Amino acid sequence: MSHKLIIGITFAALGSLLVGLYLLWSAFTTVTTTEQYVEFPDTNNIATSTVPAGEPFIRGGNGATFPAATLINNDSTKQLADDFYTVTDDENIYSIYYYTTDGTIMIALYQTPLEFSRAFAEKKLRTVVPYSDEELCGMPILVYTNGYVDARYAGIDLGLSFCPDSVILE
């Protein structure tokens, strides 16, 4: 065999080995991201209704109602999908969402300590929905975090801190 052929085969084999090692390494390497996602449970059992004029409103279990247009037409509200809005957020601490299909307000907490994040979000919620504690507790409001933020409370409805059934955070 020619000396050039042996060198060519050696380089081809070495290149194939390096490509194989790279593919093997990339298959077992995970990519990290700073984006935070929260999964919310099915909320089909939360009541919503429509006022006679056709304007949708959010109805709580205690009879409290709130016009959905107030959330949707808020200056800080951004429409994410046909039926899903970001009402307001501080991307590093919390986000408040409104889902028009079932009238649910969802609060996602992104930072520990969760007591701080929840208090911050509740303060902002009161500016957007200026109701009493009792009225807010009767509304379909879900408060969640994810496993990347705090695995102990991931996927659990933490509730608003001032509501009777809320989770006391440690």
Summarize pLDDT for 60-110 with one digit per residue, the tens: 655 666 677 776 777 778 888 887 888 877 778 999 998 888 788 899 999
Using the structure block, give the residue that is written with the tokens 């995970």.
30
- Which is higher by pLDDT, 63 or 113? 113
What letter does residue 100 receive in the DSSP assignment?
A: T
Give the integer Cα–Cα distance in Å for 166 and 82: 30
Do 62 and 136 sit in the same domain of this protein?
A: yes
Whether 27 has a pLDDT exceeding 80, the answer reads no
> Is residue 161 domain-resident?
no
Do 8 and 87 sit in the same domain of this protein?
A: no
Give the integer Cα–Cα distance in Å for 114 and 129: 21
Domain count, the chain: 2
Do 121 and 59 sit in the same domain of this protein?
A: yes
Do 80 and 134 sit in the same domain of this protein?
A: yes
Whether 51 has a pLDDT exceeding 70, the answer reads no
Residue 144, Ramachandran bin (φ over 0: left; ψ between -120 and 50: alpha; else beta): beta
Model's pTM, two decimal places? 0.64
Tokens of 5: 């052929």
Preceding amide of 113 cis, omega within 30:
yes
66 pairs with which residues across the strands? Answer: 58
Q: Can you list the alpha helix ranges (DSSP code H) found in the chain?
A: 3-27, 68-72, 114-128, 133-137
> Is residue 133 domain-resident?
yes
Residue 144's nearest CA partner among 59, 38, 22 is: 38
Do 52 and 111 sit in the same domain of this protein?
A: yes
Stretch 19-45: mean pLDDT, rounded? 48
- Which is higher by pLDDT, 120 or 4? 120
Do 52 and 22 sit in the same domain of this protein?
A: no
What is the domain range of residue 103? 48-153
